[in-house]
Amino acid sequence: MPSIAVKICGLSTEPTLDAALDAGADLVGFVHFAKSPRHVSLERAGVLSRRAQGRAQRVVLLVDPNDALVTAAVVAIGLDMIQLHGQESPERVAEIRRLSGLPVMKAIGVATSADLAQVRAYAAFADRILLDAKPPKDAALPGGNGQSFDWGLITPGTLPDGWMLSGGLTPDTVADALMRTGATAVDVSSGVEVRPGQKDPAAIAAFIEAVRSR
């Protein structure tokens, strides 16, 4: 059975970052989006990123960033990948990839099968596709809302290699999600928190263990 890549997103403190690293997270994510309870400054993300260097891939989550922010993030943080979680077009994904010189992950919100039709256009430019639950229309956040989408919409084998599943995953549901979707990578944020923005080290460890022991 192939190894499943695990990303713990929205990390903001040394103890929770260490919990993710010690449990064997493959990717760690830092959110730079002021509306999010998981928001960290570029400087803070840089401190955490240096702590994780050589132990996991380091990802910054940005939402519809302009060129100046992309450049500032690259300089300040020390990154392995940029995650785009806004309304960026496929062409904008390509521009950010060129500007940053880094691999780019593009999040796509899913509510219906029509949303999955976007995947092919983005996959031509993004290094990785992340499927997340489409946020409610009145939601302030483009992701991290603790909601899942209908996994039955996914037909195994029809998505680009390395696609990542997100949206409402928890230590109790991730094994079932993997079995039903055939995903080889998963991302969690709110599903390992005691409250929005506050990660639970024990839940992080339990999530990764649930993936590894499936």
Out of 9, 18, 64, 127, the active site residue is 9
What CA–CA distances, in Å, run from 17 to 26, 91, 152, 179? 12, 33, 32, 27
**From 18, 67, 132, 187, active-site residue:** 132
- pLDDT at residue 214, rounded to an integer: 82
Mean pLDDT of each 10-residue bin along the chain, 214 residues long:
89 98 98 96 98 98 98 97 97 98 97 93 97 74 69 88 95 95 95 96 98 91
- Among this protein's residues, is 9 annotated catalytic? yes
pLDDT of amino acid 90: 98
pLDDT of residue 196: 94
In the prediction, which pLDDT does 141 show? 58
Whole-prediction pTM value?
0.94
- Reported as a single tens digit per residue, the pLDDT across 148-193 is 899 999 987 789 999 999 999 999 999 999 999 999 999 999 999 9
For residue 139, the model assigns a pLDDT of 55
Q: How is residue 13 written in tokens?
A: 């403190």
Residue 140's pLDDT is 54
- Rounded to whole angstroms, the Cα distance separating 145 from 68 reads 28
For residue 132, indicate whether it is catalytic. Answer: yes
Greatest alpha-carbon span in the chain: 43
Q: Which pairing describes strands 185-188 and 193-195: parallel, antiparallel, or unpaired?
A: unpaired
> Is the CA virtual torsion 29, 30, 34, 36 positive or negative?
positive
Residue of 80, 26, 17 lying closest to 208 (CA atoms) = 26
Give all domains of the chain, ordered by start, each with its CATH number: 5-212 (3.20.20.70)
Question: Would you state the pLDDT for residue 7?
Answer: 98
Task: Please state, as a whole number, how many other Cβ atoms lie within 10 Å of the Cβ of residue 47.
Answer: 16
